[in-house]
Amino acid sequence: MVNSLAIQSEDTVTLSSYDTALANHNQPDKAFERFEKLLAIEPDDSMALNIKSLKRLRKTLD
């Protein structure tokens, strides 16, 4: 998947899939950072917006 990311670094589906994989493999901080980059490319990306909301909720609960 990293090769796909290098080739299609602006493809929001690829970015979202990669970021989700990071989150699912115990790298949530890296995933959150990358979701922010995804939102810079596609501000209305529903997956990235949901993750951003979860991050804010997590900060509120901590």
Tell me which residue range forms the domain holding 52.
9-61
How deeply is 19 buried, as exposed, middle or buried, from its count of CB atoms within 10 A (0-12, 13-18, 19+)? buried
Asked if residue 55 is part of any domain, the answer here is yes
Asked if residue 42 is part of any domain, the answer here is yes
Rounded to the nearest integer, the mean pLDDT of the chain is 79
Asked if residue 4 is part of any domain, the answer here is no
pLDDT > 70? residue 5: no
24-54 pLDDT, tens per residue? 888 888 888 888 888 888 899 888 888 888 8
Asked if residue 2 is part of any domain, the answer here is no
Q: How many domains does the structure of the chain reveal?
A: 1
Q: What's the pLDDT at 60? A: 78
Asked if residue 3 is part of any domain, the answer here is no
Q: What is the pTM for the complete model shown?
A: 0.63
Residue 34's alpha-carbon distances to 7, 26, 60, 61, in angstroms, are: 16, 14, 21, 22
